[in-house]
Copies of this chain bind each other. A is one copy, B any other.
Amino acid sequence: MEILKEKIREYGVLVSDNVLKVDSFLNHQLDPEFIVAVGHEFATRFAGDEVTKILTVEASGIAVALTTAMEMKVPCVFAKKNKPSTLQGEVYSSIVHSFTKNETVTISVAASYIDSNDRILIIDDFLAMGAASKGLIEIVGQSGAHLVGVGVVIEKGFQKGGQELRKNGVRVEPLVVIKSLAAGKVEFE
């Protein structure tokens, strides 16, 4: 996705050899026009897959999951972290470790919002070690729904999450794959 590469080149900030900050347009400040374009791109890539529901996890995934859902005209569910008091009844859950935040959280989805007839598309902002995606896939598994695939805005190709998911037969659609962040330079695949 060319516009995404341009955004990263222009506004991405390298925090270390591992961490690319895209706070100014993707996961702290949102550029609405760009977020809509991202949703359009995911909807195009999964257009023939009869997706019935978008699944993401709070918080950074919500914006791009919503614009994808808008385009595909299906509902969007975001898994909640650390079960709030309003999340009652049967829930699907999974334990996820965030390397960026260095915390382990339980993510949960009310069982009433996914069922075995659903065809689920998982959407997230980043794919690095794949922790969030694996947690969401586990939740899809618990529900008995069909996993259509995983769409991520940015895949860090030098970390093993994407490779592991593909090895397990999961269709992964990154809008851009970063090959390396070494030597203060963003290199795309």
Chain A residues with a Cβ under 8 A of chain B = 15, 19, 21, 23-24, 28-33, 35-36, 58-60, 62-63, 66-67, 69-70, 73-78, 80-82, 84-88, 100-103, 109-110, 112-113
CB closest chain-B residue, reference A66: B63
Quick check: A28 and B70 within 8 Å, CB to CB? no
Quick check: A86 and B31 within 8 Å, CB to CB? no
Quick check: B80 and A28 within 8 Å, CB to CB? yes
A65 → B minimal CB distance (Å): 8
CA distance A19 to B24 in the complex (A): 35
Q: Which of B35, B86, B113 contacts A19 (CB 8 A)?
A: B86
22 contacts between A and B (CB under 8 A): A19-B85, A19-B86, A21-B86, A23-B87, A23-B110, A23-B113, A28-B78, A28-B80, A28-B87, A28-B113, A29-B76, A29-B113, A30-B66, A30-B69, A30-B75, A32-B74, A32-B75, A35-B66, A36-B70, A58-B59, A59-B81, A85-B100
Quick check: B78 and A101 within 8 Å, CB to CB? no
Q: Which of B62, B85, B100, B113 contacts A86 (CB 8 A)?
A: B100
Question: Which B residues lie within 8 Å of A35 (CB)?
Answer: 66, 70
CB closest chain-B residue, reference A84: B101
CB closest chain-B residue, reference A114: B29
CB closest chain-B residue, reference A82: B101
CA distance A103 to B59 in the complex (A): 17
Quick check: B32 and A86 within 8 Å, CB to CB? no
CB closest chain-B residue, reference A55: B29
Question: Which B residues lie within 8 Å of A33 (CB)?
Answer: 70, 73
Question: Which B residues lie within 8 Å of A85 (CB)?
Answer: 15, 19, 100-102
Question: Which B residues lie within 8 Å of A63 (CB)?
Answer: 62-63, 66
